[in-house]
Chains A and B, each alone.
Chain A
Amino acid sequence: MLYREAGQFKSTYAQDQQIFPILQDRVAIAILLAVAFLLVPAFGNQYWLGAILTPFLIFSLAALGLNILTGYAGQLSLGTAAFMAVGAFMTYNFVLRIPGIPILAAFVLAGLCAAAVGIVFGLPSVRIKGFYLAVATLAAQFFVLWVLQRVGWFSNYSTSGVITAQEIAILGYRFDTPAKKYLLTLAVVAAMALLAKNLMRSETGRAFMAVRDMDVAASVVGIPMMKTKLLAFAISSFYAGVAGALHAFTYLGTVEPEAYSLDLSFRILFMVIIGGVGSILGSFLGAGFIILFPIFLNLASGWVSGLFGVEISFAVVSNLEVIIFGGLIIFFLIAEPHGLARLWQIAKEKLRLWPFPH
C-alpha cells in the first residue's frame, strides 16, 4: 500500500508524460541521485569507487547504447566494443593533437567519430536483418581493432598500440582521484541516460520501436526505414564511443586495442539480455548484475569454505561463474526476454496491490 498511485490524479497530458509519473518513484530517484552524487564519493572507499562503481557506470552506458540499437530499434550488433575503442582512441588523439581542447568536447567529438563508424557498419542493415546483420557488425569488430593495431597514428606510434590517457581537467580543476573520476563518470552517464530516456519517449524512440516490431507497417505510416536504422546505429555508437572514452580516461588509464575484443562486445550484449531488452533501467541492472555477480560469488565461496571447511579453488569459482551466466542468459532469453527490468516492474505491480491479493 505504500507504493501506489491512488489519489495521484493526472489532470494534464503533460503530467501524464513525465518520466516518473508516480510520486514514490520521483522520491526514490531523487534519493538515489543524492546518494550517488553526495554520499558515495564522500564515504566510498577507493576500491569501490575506482574498481566497481566507475566501471559499473561505464558499462551501463555501453549497454544503454547497445540497448538503443538492439532493444529499441531491433538491430542486433556484435560490434559494441569496437565502437568503444573508437571512442577511447579518438579521445586520446583529440586531446593529444588539439592543445587545450576541453575534455568534454573531446568526448563528444570522439563519440561522433564512433557514430560515423557506426553508420558505415550499419549500412548493411538497410538490406539484411537478424543473424546476417550480426555477422556484418562482427566485421566492424575485427576491422576496427585491426586498424587500431596496424595504423600507428592512432596510438601515436607507441609500441604494441598501447595508449595512456591524458590527465583530465575541466576549467583547471583536475580529476585525479578515484572519487573525482567517479563523479565525472556519474555526471556524464546520468546526463546521457536522461537524454536517452527523452529520446525514447519521443518520435525517434517510437520510430525505432516501430521498425523493430513491424518494418512494413513502419514504412506504411511514413517512417523512413533507412534513415531510422542508420540513426539508431549512429546514436548507439555515439553512446558506446563515449563509454569507451570514459573507460580509458576515468577507469583504466592505459588501454590497448585488445581490451576491446569480441569478448567485451558479448559481455555488453549479455548485460542487455539479463538487464532487459528495450529498457533504459535494464541497461543499468544488467551492468550491475554482471559486474557485481563475480564479486558476490567470490564472497559466497569464501563463506562456504569457511562454513564447511572445504577449500574452493579459484578455478572452480570462475568456472561456476561461467556456468551460472550461461544458465541465466538462456533463462532470460527463453522465459523473460525483458530481463531484470521486467521482473522489477512485476514486483512494482505486486506492490501496488499489496497487502491485498487482488
Chain B
Amino acid sequence: MTVPQPIAGAQRVGEVVLAVENVSLSFGGVKALVEVSFDVREHEVRAIIGPNGAGKSSMLNVLNGVYHAQKGTIRLRQGAAWREFHDMDSHEAAALGIARTFQNIALFKGMTVLDNIMTGRNLKMRCNFLQQALWAGPAKKEELAHRRAAEEIIDFLEIQHIRKTPVGRLPYGLQKRVELGRALAAEPTLLLLDEPMAGMNLEEKQDMCRFVLDVNDHYGTTIVLIEHDMGVVMDISDRVVVLDYGRRIADGTPDEVRSNQAVIDAYLGVAH
C-alpha cells in the first residue's frame, strides 16, 4: 500500500533483467515472430522498431502472456533469482510487475478515469468482497489509501480535470494518457508501451515523451517501447532492436541502428 516512491539518485542502465530467447510465434501460416532474441537491462528505455506487420506488437503480447509463443523462453530476473517461462500467463505477468499499454487503446470505456486507474492497483488490494460490501474499517482504509496513490498518478499525468469523466468520452490523446496512468498505478518494474504516441499531435507527443522519460528517471522503471516516430525513438531510447518480417535484423544503440544497412533496406522496402 505504498505510494510510488522515487528511487533516490539518478539511475543508469544496470544488469540484464529480461532475456527473450529464440521466441517463435505463428498464426496459421503467418510467421509473426521467428527465433527472436534480445535482452532488456534494468532502468533502460528499450525500443522495438520495424515496418508495419514486423511483429512488434506480437512480441509485447508474448512478453505479458496475451499471446503464447510456440517456441522459445522468456527469462525474468526477480531480485537475485531468475525465473524462466515458456508460456507466460497475463495474470502472472501482472503479478511479476509487468504492466503495459496497447496499440489500440484498451481502456475500460464505461468507467471513469479514476476507476480505470484504480483497477491498475487491484493486485495490491487485500480486502475480500465481504469486507468491501460492509465498507468496514479495513476496506474503507484500503480504498482511501489506494485513492491517494491513484491521485498521485493523476497529478503526475496532469489529468485532474477529467478524473470523474468516463473514458469513452475523452479524446484519443487523453485516453492514451489514462492508459499509461492505469499501467503506472500498478507500480510496475517493467513497463511495455505499444506506440504510446501514435496518432498524437506534436504537443501531445512531447507531453507523452516527457511522461515516459519522467517515469523512467523518477521511478527507475524499465521501459520497452514500440514507436514509429524515429525522432522520438532516437531521442529517448538507450538501445533499439529492429524487427522485420518477424526476424530480428539489428540490435544496438540508436546511432548503430540508424546506420545499419539492413535497417535502411527494411525501411526503404528493398526486396529480399
Instruction: Give 16 pairs: A residue, B residue, CB < 8 Å, sorted on A.
Output: A13-B147, A198-B132, A202-B129, A203-B143, A204-B133, A214-B108, A216-B90, A217-B102, A217-B108, A220-B66, A220-B106, A221-B186, A222-B94, A222-B95, A231-B129, A235-B129
* A14 contacts partner chain B, Cβ-Cβ < 8 Å: yes
Q: With a CB–CB cut-off of 8 A, which chain B residues contact A195? A: 133-134
Interface residues of A in 30-87 (CB under 8 A from B): none
* B64 contacts partner chain A, Cβ-Cβ < 8 Å: yes
Q: With a CB–CB cut-off of 8 A, which chain B residues contact A13? A: 144, 147-148, 151
A217 vs B151: C-alpha distance when bound (angstroms): 21
* B139 contacts partner chain A, Cβ-Cβ < 8 Å: yes
A79 vs B226: C-alpha distance when bound (angstroms): 46
Min C-beta distance of B233 to chain A, whole Å: 24
Min C-beta distance of A222 to chain B, whole Å: 3
Task: Determine which residue in A203, A204, A231 has the highest number of CB atoms from chain B within 10 A of its CB, and name it.
Answer: A203
A219 vs B120: C-alpha distance when bound (angstroms): 11
* A4 contacts partner chain B, Cβ-Cβ < 8 Å: no
* B127 contacts partner chain A, Cβ-Cβ < 8 Å: yes
Q: Are B134 and A222 in contact (CB under 8 A)?
A: no
* A212 contacts partner chain B, Cβ-Cβ < 8 Å: yes
Report how many A-B pairs have Cβ atoms within 8 Å.
102
A210 vs B257: C-alpha distance when bound (angstroms): 40
Q: Contacts A13-B144, A213-B109, A214-B108; is A202 near B122 (CB within 8 Å)? A: no
Q: Are A202 and B132 in contact (CB under 8 A)?
A: yes
Per DSSP, chain A at the interface is helix
Q: Contacts A199-B129, A202-B143, A222-B94; is A214 near B106 (CB within 8 Å)? A: yes
Min C-beta distance of B9 to chain A, whole Å: 30
Q: Are A207 and B122 in contact (CB under 8 A)?
A: yes
Q: Which residues of B approach A to under 8 Å, CB–CB?
A: 64, 66, 90-91, 93-95, 99-100, 102, 106-111, 115, 118-120, 122-123, 125, 127, 129, 132-135, 139-140, 143-144, 147-148, 151, 182, 186
Min C-beta distance of A192 to chain B, whole Å: 9
A 190-212 to B, binary, CB cutoff 8 A, 1 in contact else 0: 00000110110011101101101
Per DSSP, chain B at the interface is helix
Task: Determine which residue in A17, A213, A235 has the highest number of CB atoms from chain B within 10 A of its CB, and name it.
Answer: A213
Q: With a CB–CB cut-off of 8 A, which chain B residues contact A216? A: 66, 90, 106
Min C-beta distance of A227 to chain B, whole Å: 10
A212 vs B107: C-alpha distance when bound (angstroms): 11
Q: With a CB–CB cut-off of 8 A, which chain A residues contact B122? A: 203, 206-207, 221-223
Given contacts A219-B91, A220-B100, A235-B129, 8 further A-B contacts (CB under 8 A): A14-B144, A198-B133, A213-B110, A214-B107, A216-B66, A217-B102, A222-B95, A224-B91
Q: Are A206 and B94 in contact (CB under 8 A)?
A: no
Partner of A220, one of B94, B129, B133, B148: B94
Q: Are A202 and B135 in contact (CB under 8 A)?
A: yes
